[in-house]
Chain A
Amino acid sequence: MIPNPNIPEVIQNVPLQYYLILSTLLFVIGIIGVLTRRNAIIIFMSVELMLNAANILLIAFSSYRSDPSGQVFVFFIMAVAAAEVAVGLAIIVMIYRNTRNTDIGFLNKLKW
C-alpha cells in the first residue's frame, strides 16, 4: 500500500489490512453467534457485534483517506444503535414475559 503523506505517522504504524482482518473476524463471529445461539439476548449481542465490525471498517477507511465523513457516519450509527438497543431489549423483555424464557425456539407461531 502506498503511504499517504497526509496521514499522520501514528496511524500509519498500523497497516490498514489489520483493521480489515479485525472487522472481518468480528463480523464472522457475529454471524456464527446469530446462527448458532438460541438465546435471544446473545443473538442480539451478536447483531451488535456485526454492527460494530462495520463501524471499525468505516473509521479505518475514514482515517486512511483523510475523509472525516466516515467518522460522522459512525456517530450516527452509534446513536441509532443506542435507540435500537432500547427497542430490541424491550422486545426481548416482552418475549420473556410471554414465554418465561428467552429461547427463540419458542417463537415458532408465525408460520403456515
Chain B
Amino acid sequence: MSASLLVLIPLLPFLGFLINGIGFRTIPKGAVGIIGSLAVIGSFALSLNAFNAFVAAGSTPFVLPLFDWITVGDLNIPFSFQIDQLSLLMLMIITGVGSLIHIYSIGYMKHDEGFGKFFAYLNLFLFFMLLLVLGSNYVIMFIGWEGVGLCSYLLIGFWNKNTNYNNAARKAFIMNRVGDLGFLLGIFTIIATFGSVEYLEVFSKATGFQVGDPVIIAITLFLFIGAMGKSAQIPLYTWLPDAMAGPTPVSALIHAATMVTAGIYMVIRSNVLYSLAPSTLEFVGIIGGATALFAASIGLLQNDIKKVLAYSTVSQLGYMFMGLGAMAYSASMFHVITHAFFKALLFLGAGSVIHAMSDEQDIRSMGGLRKKLPITFLTFLIATIAISGIPPFAGFFSKDEILAHVFEHNKLLWVVGVLGSLMTSFYMFRLLFLTFFGKFRGTHDQEHHLHESPASMTIPLVILAVLSALGGFIGVPEALHGTHKLAEFMSPLYEGSRQVNPEAFLPTTLSHSEEYILMAVSVGVALISLIIAYVMYVQKESVPAPDSEEKSAVQNLIYNKYYVDELYNAVFVKPIKSLSNVLYSFGEFFIDLFVNGTARLIAFLGGLLRKTQTGSTGDYVFAMVLGIVVILFWKLLL
C-alpha cells in the first residue's frame, strides 16, 4: 500500500467537495450524486485495501509523514497520518457507512433544490472526519474536530429558510464551541507538559508519569470537556436532539454514526493518558451513566420519530462513555461500530418513513405502515432488535460487553446501565409498534401517497440491516465460546496503558456463570420492555395523547425534556443576551459620540474652507501670486 494511496483517502471526498461545491449550479443532478458517492466509495475501497495491507504486513502501526507544518521554537508539529488499528477501524466505519448514506441521499434528496450543495457539504464533512481520525497528532485532530463541527452546522441549517432550523444549527455550533475550548486547553496543557503533540511522543513520555498525576488528570478532564460537546454528553447534550432539523441522511451520518463518536475515538486514542487518571475515568463513567439514563428516559415519551432516535443516540453515547470509564476501550469501540450500523439504519429507516409520509414526523399520525413499506419495516425491526440488545443481533454483544465491564468496575453504574437498557428497549419498540403496527392514523392524502422508497434508498437499508444483524460476531465473548476478534485486533493499542496501569488490564475476574447471569438480566429486561410495549401499543392500541391534553406532572416533566432547554435559556442564554445588549447600547453610545462628533467637526471645518473656492480664475491666480510672494518673503527675508 503506497503512501500516495493513503493520502487519497481523505483527498477523494475533498475533491468531490470541490467539484460539487464549485459547480453545483451547472453540474446536472444525476452527475452530482454520482460524483459525490463515487468519491466516498473510492475512499472506502482504498480504506479496505489499506486495512488488508495492514493486516497482511503483520499489523505494525506506522506514521506517514506528509510535510512539516508548524515549527515554533522547540515545538514541531508535522502534518502526518497515523495508520494503526484504531484509525483503520474508524476509516472503515466512516467511509463504509458514509458510502451507504451517500447512495441513500441520492434517492432521499432527489427533489431538493440544494441537491448539489448537500453533496458538497457531505463530502466536506467526510474529508474533515477522515482527517480527524487519520492525523498523527492532537492538532490535526483538532482541525478535523472543528471542521466536522462546521459541516454539522452547515447541514443542520441546510434548509436555511426556516428560522428554527437556523437556531438549531447555531445552538449546535455554540455548544460545540464550549467543548472545543476545553479541548484546546487540553492541547495547550499537553504542549506545556510534554513539549509535543505527536501521539507517539506524548504517550511514550506519559508512561513515565505516576498514576493519578494531577497534570494528567487536568489534561484528560480538559479533553473530556471537548468530548462532552462533540459526543453530546451531559451537560452539553441539548444540541443533538435539536440537530434533527437537518435532512435525515445528515442525522444518520453525522449525528449518529460518525461525528458524535469522535469523542469516544479521542478517549480511546488517548487511552494511555486516561489510564493514568483513574479519577477522570470515574468522572467519565458517571457522566456517561447519567447521560445514558437521562436521555433514555426523555426518549420514552417523545412523539417525533427523529427525536426519539436522537435521544436514543445520546443515551447510547452515554453507554460508550460508561464503558470507557470502566477502561473497556475495546468494548466501547465495539459499541461505536455496532451503533454506527444500527443507528444509521434506524435513521435511514425513519427517513424512508418520513419520505413515504410526505414529510410527516409525528408517530401519532403513523401506524400500520408495515404492509406499505415492507423492506423499511423489516430493516427497522432488525435495527430495533439490535439496539435493544436481544441476541444474536449486533447490539447485544457490544452492549453486554460494556455492561459486564461496568459491573466489574462499579455495581451502581451497572444498575443505571440496565435501567437505561430497559428504557431503550421500551422506547424503541414503542416507536416500532406505533409506526408500523395498528391502523393508519394520518390524513387521507398521506395514505394515498404511501409508497416504498426507491432502490437507491432500500439497498443501503438492506446492507445496513445485514451488518446490524451479523456485526456482533466480530466480538463474541469467551463465555459464549467465541473469539473476540475485535479485542484481539485492538489489543496492541493499549501497550502503553498496560505498562502504566497493569491492574486495569488483568483478565476478567467474572466467572462464566456470572457472565451468563449478566447477559440473562440484560436480555430479560429488554424482553420485558418488549412485552410491555407490545401490550400497550399493539394489543390495547393506545396512542400517545395529543399535545392539547392534560398530562400528569411527571409525564409533563419528561415530555418537556426535564425543562433543560428552558433552564439553559434562563441561566445562560438570557443573561448573556441582556449583558450583551447592555454592552451593545453602552458601546453604541460612546462610539457613536466619537464617530459622529468627528464627522460633524470635519463637516463644519469643510464648510468654512469651501468658501474659498469661488470659481473665479482671477481669484485663484491672485492666491497663487500671493502664495509665491509669501514664500519668497519667508525664504529670502526671514
Contacts and interface: CB of A to CB of B under 8 A. Distances in A.
Interface string B601-638: 00000000011011111100110010000000000000
A107 B617 contact: yes
A31 B621 CA distance: 9
A35 B617 contact: no
A3 interface: no
A16 interface: no
Interface string A81-111: 0000000000000000000000011011111
A108 B614 contact: yes
B621 to A, nearest CB: 6
A46 B122 CA distance: 79
B625 A34 contact: yes
A111 B625 contact: no
Nearest to A109: B615
A65 interface: no
A88 B610 CA distance: 28
A44 B625 CA distance: 15
Contacts of B618: 35, 38, 104-105
Interface in A20-39: 31, 34-35, 38
The number of chain A residues touching the other chain, given as a range, is 10 to 19
A57 to B, nearest CB: 15
Contacts of A111: 613-615
A112 interface: yes
Contacts of B625: 31, 34-35
Nearest to A112: B610
Nearest to A43: B621
Interface of B is mostly: helix
Contacts of B611: 112
B613 A104 contact: no
Contacts of B615: 108-111
Nearest to B628: A31
Contact of B621 (A35, A109, A112): A35
Contacts of A107: 617
A43 B622 CA distance: 13
Nearest to B612: A112
B616 A105 contact: yes
A107 B618 CA distance: 10
A88 to B, nearest CB: 14
B621 A34 contact: yes
Contacts of A34: 621, 625
A108 B616 CA distance: 5
A111 B612 CA distance: 9
B617 to A, nearest CB: 4
Interface string B172-216: 000000000000000000000000000000000000000000000
Nearest to A36: B618
Contact of B617 (A31, A104, A112): A104
Contact of B613 (A38, A43, A105, A112): A112
Contacts of B621: 34-35, 43
A34 to B, nearest CB: 6
A105 B616 CA distance: 6
Looking at A43, A107, A108, the one whose CB has the most chain B CB atoms below 10 A away is A108
A75 B618 CA distance: 31
Looking at A31, A104, A110, A112, the one whose CB has the most chain B CB atoms below 10 A away is A112
A35 B624 CA distance: 10
Contacts of B617: 104-105, 107-108
A59 B632 CA distance: 22
Contacts of A105: 616-618
A41 to B, nearest CB: 14
A10 B434 CA distance: 126
A9 to B, nearest CB: 33
Nearest to A108: B615
Contacts of A38: 618
A30 to B, nearest CB: 10
Nearest to B617: A104
A34 B618 CA distance: 8
Contact of A35 (B610, B613, B616, B622): B622
A6 B6 CA distance: 91
A34 B624 CA distance: 11
**Top 10 A-B residue pairs of the complex, sorted by shortest distance between their CB atoms:** A111-B615, A108-B615, A112-B610, A104-B617, A111-B613, A112-B613, A108-B616, A110-B615, A34-B621, A111-B614
Interface of B: 610-611, 613-618, 621-622, 625
Interface of A: 31, 34-35, 38, 43, 104-105, 107-112
9 contacts: A34-B621, A35-B618, A35-B622, A105-B618, A108-B616, A108-B617, A110-B613, A111-B614, A111-B615
Given A35-B618, A35-B625, A105-B618, 6 more contacts: A107-B617, A108-B617, A110-B615, A112-B610, A112-B611, A112-B613
